[in-house]
Structure 1
Amino acid sequence: MRLALSLALACSLLGGCASQPGNPDGTWINQPLIDAAGEGGSLREALLAYGPNLEWKVDSARGLATYSNGFELGEGQLVAQDGGWHVDYHGDYQEQLSLDDAQLVQAASSNWPEQRFSKPTKPAAADAPPGSSFEWALYQAYLGGQWTIVEGLGQGGMVIFHPDGRVEGLPGSERYALCLAGDCASMAGDHDSLWLQLGQQGAPWMFEREGDELRIFEAVNQAQSTEMPEYQPGRQAWLLERD
């Protein structure tokens, strides 16, 4: 007992015994981004302000950590260090992770500011694609609830955007996906876009969200046939209002 007390006292005085980090295992989603988007403004602005990473998956037993930014995955080796962890991506660069109460913190770097992640209230299935937990939470916060078609085909009808990507009540569509990053974001420029699909056929659409109003526009390609598409909002197809 005296030996244990002596060791504890020495650690507190000399600072030579580093505290062990908590358990970072599991899925973590970018909740501040979801909260910002859920206020009812531009999705693109929320992504730029709180991204780029959307989700982390950490497996300390295997020494692995993987992030998803909606376009690509980055898998690195997880190593405990100084009360936190660093994630080594084959020597090219590192990310620093730590726990702050119930949040996983990705330290600021030369590439992006500090980002904070929380455990999802509804984690995706173990075999779901990376980023699925984030998408479910984002779709629920951003498009959840019941929408009424105020203008457009199906006027007066009710539309429900389910968090698993199904949509009910929007004529000509049974699936949807919000554009988060990658080519779809590049082709949309400063605008928000989504994909609407019926069966095997789908197409990009542009949209604007202002509070409880959602306007969906045709996507007009202004690029040449040999160039990457550059979409601009065209004719308004629907005006939806959330009840």
Structure 2
Amino acid sequence: MRKALALSMLAVFLGGCASDPADRDISGTWINQAAIDAASKGGPLREALQAYGPNLEWDINTKAGQARYTNGFENVEGKLLGEKSGAWQVEFYGSSASELKRDGKQLSQAANDNEPEQVFDRAKDAAPEGAPMGASFERALYAAYLGGSWKVVNGPGLGSTVRFQPDGSVQGLPGADRYALCLAGDCASMSGGHDTVWLQQSGQGNPWIFTRNGKELEIFQAVNGSQADEVPSFSPGPRQWTLEKQ
């Protein structure tokens, strides 16, 4: 009898744990870790983002009923409806709703007519307060894709060590103190399918085209083939640097 009672109490306890509201809470910042993991293998960046995107980050506040996401080009805000059967509906003005569901440590976005199913993980290193939407994804991507030490094996600064930091700063690359990878939007459409990076120093900069092949990173001048009154169209020009991952 006592054994049966103990088992019954255990079942109630475990059932209570399984239905713990904290296990279903989706508040916080969630990033597309699958896209980051794919990019970290050292291949083309845009291919990884397109394969696992298009959305890169969700920011959710269940108490305020707010949910927003970014795809690297636009930030979209929606109204978070109440949870129903473990799923949350997000309504957007003028577009179809999204369904979000938490599965342990991951957040899944159900497929709809416009987007495939996507999976997100909680951001481990959240961006500083006041940072723009998508900054947590960018910091994680920058660390995984360009983190560590690189050596200039060809081009200006030959032999120097280059370090790309998660906050967008860069050391050791002649003529640059900041960088930003192109994730989507105009910078992507103007580059003809090539990966591009913005390099600047003291607030002045230009786009560059790059290729990543394992531990080798080549950076080329971006040549604009359009007329002055046309939308820019960039293609690879002379190679400026070749960097090798140490």
What TM-score do you get using the length of structure 1 for normalisation?
0.91
Secondary structure (helix, strand or coil) at the match of 1:207 reads strand
Distance 2:106 2:62 in 1: 16
**Which of 193, 202, 225 is equivalent to 1:222?**
225
Q: 1:197 aligns with which of 200, 206, 210?
A: 200
Q: Which residue among 140, 154, 157 is the counterpart of 2:157?
A: 154
Partner of 1:82: 85
Q: What does residue 27 of structure 2 align with?
A: 25
Q: How many residues align?
A: 230
1:51 corresponds to 2:59? no
Matched, 1:209 2:212: yes
Q: Secondary structure of 1:233's match?
A: strand
Distance in 1 between residues matched to 2:20 and 2:136, nearest whole Å = 31
Displacement of 1:82 after TM fit? Answer: 2.7
Per-residue Cα deviation, 1:50-91 (whole angstroms, up to 9, x for no partner): 111000000000000000111111110101233210100125
Aligned residues with identical type, % of pairs: 54
Q: Which residue number in structure 1 is paired with residue 11 of structure 2? A: none
Distance 1:156 1:27, change over 3 A: same
CA distance in 2, matches of 1:223, 1:49: 29
Q: 1:99 aligns with which of 94, 98, 102?
A: 102
Counterpart residue identity of residue 178, structure 2: R
Residue 39 of structure 1 corresponds to which residue in structure 2? 41
C-alpha distance after superposition, 1:89-135 (max 9, x if no partner)? 12532001001111000001111211000011111123111101000
What residue identity is the alignment partner of 1:238?
Answer: W
Matched, 1:237 2:240: yes
Which stretches of structure 1, 4 residues or more, deviate above 4 A after TM superposition?
18-21
Report the equivalent of 1:126.
129
Q: Aligned equivalents of 1:121 and 1:23: distance in 2?
A: 17
Aligned-pair RMSD on alpha carbons?
Answer: 1.9
- Residue 142 of structure 2 is matched in structure 1 by 139
- What residue is the counterpart of 1:13 in the other structure? none
Deviations 1:200-234 (A, max 9, x none): 21000000000000000000011122111110010
Aligned to 2:188, the other structure's residue is in SS state helix
- 2:24 is paired with a residue whose SS is coil
Structure 2, gaps ≥5 residues long = 1-7, 9-18
1:65 aligned residue: 67
Q: Check conservation: 1:150, 1:241, Cα contact below 8 A.
A: yes
SS in 2 for 1:136: helix
The structural deviation recorded for 1:190 is 1.0
Whole-Å separation in 2 of the counterparts to 1:126 and 1:175: 20
User: Following the alignment from structure 1 to structure 2, what is the Cα–Cα distance between the partners of residues 184 and 116?
Assistant: 25
3-state SS in 2 of match to 1:93? strand
TM-score, with structure 2 as normaliser: 0.90
Higher deviation after alignment, 179-188 or 91-100: 91-100
Inter-partner Cα distance in structure 2 for 1:200 and 1:66 = 30
Question: SS at the partner of 1:125?
Answer: coil
